Structure 1
Amino acid sequence: MTAEHSLYGPLEDPAADAGHRDHPARVGFFTDTSVCIGCKSCEVACKEWNNVPDDGFNLLGMSFDNTGMLGADSWRHVAFVEQPRRLGGQDAGVAGLPTGESVTGEVADSVSSALHDQPRGGGELGTAPVDLGLPSFELPGAGTGADGRDEFRWLMASDVCKHCTHAGCLDVCPTGALFRTEFGSVVVQSDICNGCGYCVSACPYGVIDRREDDGRAWKCTLCYDRLRDGLEPACAKACPTDSIQFGPLDELRERARQRVEQLHSAGVGEARLYGEDPDDGVGGDGAFFLLLDEPEVYGLPPDPVVPTRDAGSMWRHAAVAAGAFVVAAASAFLGRGGR
Structure 2
Amino acid sequence: MTDRHLLSGVEPDPARDAGHPEPPPRVGFFTDTSVCIGCKACEVACKEWNAIPEDGLSLTGMSYDNTQGLGASTWRHVAFIEQQTPAPDGRTQLPLLGGGSEPPSGAPGLSRPAPPEAGSEGPGAAGGTGELRWLMSSDVCKHCTHAACLDVCPTGSLFRTEFGTVVVQEDICNGCGYCVPACPYGVIEQRPSDGRAFKCTMCYDRLGAGQEPACAKACPTESIQFGPLDELRERAALRVDQLHAAGVDGARLYGHEPDDGVGGDGAFFLLLDEPEVYGLPPNPVVTTRDLPAMWKHAGAAALSLAGGFALSFALPALLRRKSTRR
Shorter-chain TM band: 0.7 to 0.9
- The amino acid that maps onto 2:213 is P
Q: CA 1:317–1:200 in structure 2 vs 1: closer, same or farther (change >3 Å)?
A: same
Asked whether the 8 Å contact 2:85–2:133 carries over to 1, the reply is yes
Name 1:138's counterpart in structure 2.
Answer: 104
1:290-321 alpha-carbon deviations (Å, 9 max, x no partner): 11111111111111112111111110111112
Mapped to 2, the partners of 1:290 and 1:301 lie a distance apart of 15
- Per-residue deviation, residues 35-65 of structure 1 (Å, max 9, x unmatched): 1111101001101111111111223101111
Residue identity matched to 1:265: A
TM-score by length of 2: 0.84
Q: What residue is the counterpart of 2:26 in the other structure?
A: 26
Structure 2 CA distance for aligned equivalents of residues 39 and 193 of structure 1: 33
CA distance in 2, matches of 1:279, 1:6: 11
Aligned residues: 297
TM-score, scaled relative to structure 1: 0.81
Shift of 1:77: 0.4
State the distance in 1 between where 2:194 and 2:307 align. Answer: 48
Counterparts in 2 of 1:37 and 1:262: CA distance versus 1, 3 Å: same
Is the contact between residue 8 and residue 166 of structure 1 (CA under 8 Å) also seen in structure 2? no
Higher relative contact order (CA 8 A, sep 6+): 1
Alignment of 1:187-198 (within 5 A): 187-198=167-178
**Rg larger for:** 2
Quick check: 1:210 aligned with 2:190?
Answer: yes
Q: How far, CA to CA, are the matches of 2:3 and 2:157 in structure 1? A: 19
Give the direction of change, closer, same or farther, for the CA distance of 1:6–1:336 in structure 2 (3 Å limit).
farther
Q: Which runs of 5+ in 1 are unaligned?
A: 90-101, 121-136
- Verify the 8 A CA contact 2:33 2:270 in the aligned structure 1: yes
Tell me, yes or no, if the aligned pair for 1:165 and 1:283 is still in contact at 8 Å.
Answer: yes
- After superposition, the Cα gap between the structure-2 partners of 1:49 and 1:40, relative to the gap in structure 1 and judged at 3 Å, is same
Structure 2 Cα separation of the partners of residues 335 and 14 of structure 1: 51
Code of the residue aligned with 1:186 in structure 2: it is V
> Are 1:165 and 1:285, in contact at CA under 8 Å, matched by a contact in 2?
yes
Cα distance in 2 for partners of 1:28, 1:50 equals 18
Q: Deviations for 1:101-121, whole angstroms, at most 9, x for unmatched residues?
A: x225xxx6xx52xx232149x
- Residue 118 of structure 1: aligned partner: 97
Mapped contact 2:55–2:66 kept (Cα < 8 A): no
Cα pair 1:141 1:147 within 8 Å, conserved: no
1:130-169 Cα offsets, whole Å, 9 max, x none, are xxxxxxx714389xx9676763000100000101111111
**Letter in structure 2 aligned against 1:59:** L
> 1:336, CA displacement in angstroms?
3.9
Q: CA deviation at 1:263?
A: 1.4
Greater Cα shift, 318-327 or 246-255: 318-327
Distance 1:157 1:31 in 2: 8
**Partner residue of 1:103 out of 85, 89, 111:** 89
1:273-306 alpha-carbon deviations (Å, 9 max, x no partner):
1111111111111001111111111111111112
Q: Which amino acid aligns with 1:103?
A: D
Query: How far has the Cα of 1:333 moved from its partner?
Result: 4.3
Q: 1:147 to 1:39 in 2, by over 3 A?
A: closer
SS at match of 2:85: coil
Alpha-carbon RMSD? 2.3
Whole-Å separation in 2 of the counterparts to 1:147 and 1:215: 45
**Counterpart of 2:73 in 1: which secondary structure?**
coil
1:218 maps to amino acid = F
Measured in 1, the distance between the counterparts of 2:105 and 2:197 equals 37
